[in-house]
Amino acid sequence: MSVAADTIPAKPRRRLPGNVRIKAFAYLLVAPAILLICGLVAYPFLFAIWVSFTDMVVGSVGNFVGFKNFEYLAGTATFYSAIWNTIVIVLVSDVLKLGIGLGLALLVHQNLPGRGIFRSFLMLPWAMPAFVAFLTWRVLYQPIGGGINLILTQTGLYPEVVDFLGSRSTAMGSVIVASVWRGFPFWFISILAALQSVPKELYEAAIVDGASTWQRFWNVTIPSLMPVIIVTTLLSSIWTANGFEHVWLLTAGGPSDATMVFPVLAYYGMQTQRIGEAAAVSVYMLPVLGILVIFATSLMMRREE
């Protein structure tokens, strides 16, 4: 719009005297949010990058040390565990959440009587506080007092008691199951909303053209869902890669780094007061994360227009 008006509608009413006032009003309204975001997000973000290049510890300002923190981290085994585990958690849990969310959304999208009740129940894990969900799973996984071992042994599905969170072979899988349980409703509801907004005419046209059910699914449903699936994948990957609660409350990164991820590693760095190194852990994630965020931002901005 190239009309010389400050409000979006191009109304040729006597606006000019108030022009500056309207602009000032607009800036005044947006200022608190922008100032807070600059102070509490943008500045700390840049500050974190600076800190990662210093030897800051609690109570000292720290000196510039170049890439020393990054080199130090790259020499530790824990760091490589964190890289690998973060990739595994993001990939496996997002694929599972997509599969479960899509499947359940398709089921609920049918005109089944009672689908509203199913939808309400399926959303429950998301309505629970995350810390409650993961503490509950921690109890569920216990060898003594845990519901999963109880069911496995009593039904005879698996005779031995498993220390799900305490052994290296099962810890990661257990963390993933719990975070899928808590995270799938977001996918479910996003996909369901997208399904409901697919124009009926597309299906009717496909039927007229003689498309089979599978052809309609692959050529109408999936392409219509693609934009939502891409945005959801990006958002979910960013959140999962930076999730702290699920690992911290279930395993705290153990046993022996089997579930160590970046945010938990950074938190441990913070606890040992070596702030420079802790910040370097976070900053290591930036390149990959930055790409995801820029990609997500431009997709979301574009669809907003």
Partner 1 sequence: MATLAEVASAAPAGSASAQRRLIIARIVSYGLLAVAVILVLFPIYWMVITSLKLPREIYRVPALWPQTFTLANFDKLLADGSFLLAIRNSAIVATTVTVISVIISSFAAYSMVRFRYRFRGVFGRLILFAYLTPGSLLFIPLSIVMAQLRLGNSLQGLILVYLTFSLPLSTWLLQGYFRGVPRELEEQGMIDGLTRFGALIRITLPLSAPGLAAVAIFTFTGAWNELLFALVLTTSESVRTAPLALNYLITSDVLPWGPLMAGAVISSVPLMILYFVAQRFMVAGMAEGAVKG
Interacting positions 90-119 with partner 1 (CB under 8 A): 100, 103-104, 106-112, 118-119
Number of residues that bind partner 1 (CB under 8 A): 117
CB of 296 to partner 1, least distance (A): 6
Does the protein bind partner 1 through residue 232 (CB under 8 A)?
Answer: yes
d(CA 247, CA 261): 8
Q: Does 82 bind partner 1 (CB under 8 A)?
A: no
Q: Is 201 in the site for partner 1 (CB under 8 A)?
A: no
Binding residues among 6-35 for partner 1 as defined by CB under 8 A: 6-9, 11, 22-23, 25-27, 29-30, 32-34
Q: Among residues 16, 20, 36, 87, which is the contact residue for partner 1, using CB under 8 A?
A: 36
Q: CA of 292: how far to CAs of 160, 176, 179, in Å?
A: 43, 21, 20
Peptide bond into 255 cis (omega under 30): yes
Q: Quick check: 183 binds partner 1 (CB under 8 A)?
A: no
Q: How many angstroms separate the first and last alpha carbons of the chain?
A: 13
**223 binds partner 1 per the rule CB under 8 A:** no
Query: Per CB under 8 A, does 300 bind partner 1?
Result: yes
- Identify which of residues 5 and 92 has a Cβ nearer to partner 1 in the complex: 5
**133 versus 172: smaller Cβ distance to partner 1:** 133
CB of 150 to partner 1, least distance (A): 5
Give me the least distance between CB of 100 and partner 1, in Å please: 8
32 to 7, 21, 29: CA distances (angstroms): 21, 18, 7
Q: Is the CB of residue 164 less than 8 Å from the CB of residue 148?
A: yes
Is the Cβ of residue 92 or residue 289 nearer to partner 1 in the bound state? 289
Q: Which is nearer to partner 1, 84 or 244 (CB)?
A: 244
Instruction: State yes or no: residue 73 binds partner 1 (CB under 8 A).
Output: no
Nearest Cα to Cα of residue 79 among 257, 232, 255: 257
Name the nearest CA neighbour of 252 among 145, 138, 129, 88.
Answer: 138
Q: CA distances (Å), 289 to each of 107, 129, 252, 262, 285, in order?
A: 33, 25, 23, 12, 6
Does 147 sit near partner 1 (CB under 8 A)?
Answer: yes
Angle at 83 (CA atoms; ends 141, 79), nearest 5 degrees? 95
Does 63 participate in binding partner 1 (rule CB under 8 A)?
no
Point out which span in 73-81, 91-99, 146-154, 168-176 binds partner 1 (CB under 8 A): 146-154
Q: Which of 176, 186, 179 is nearest to 104 (CA)?
A: 186
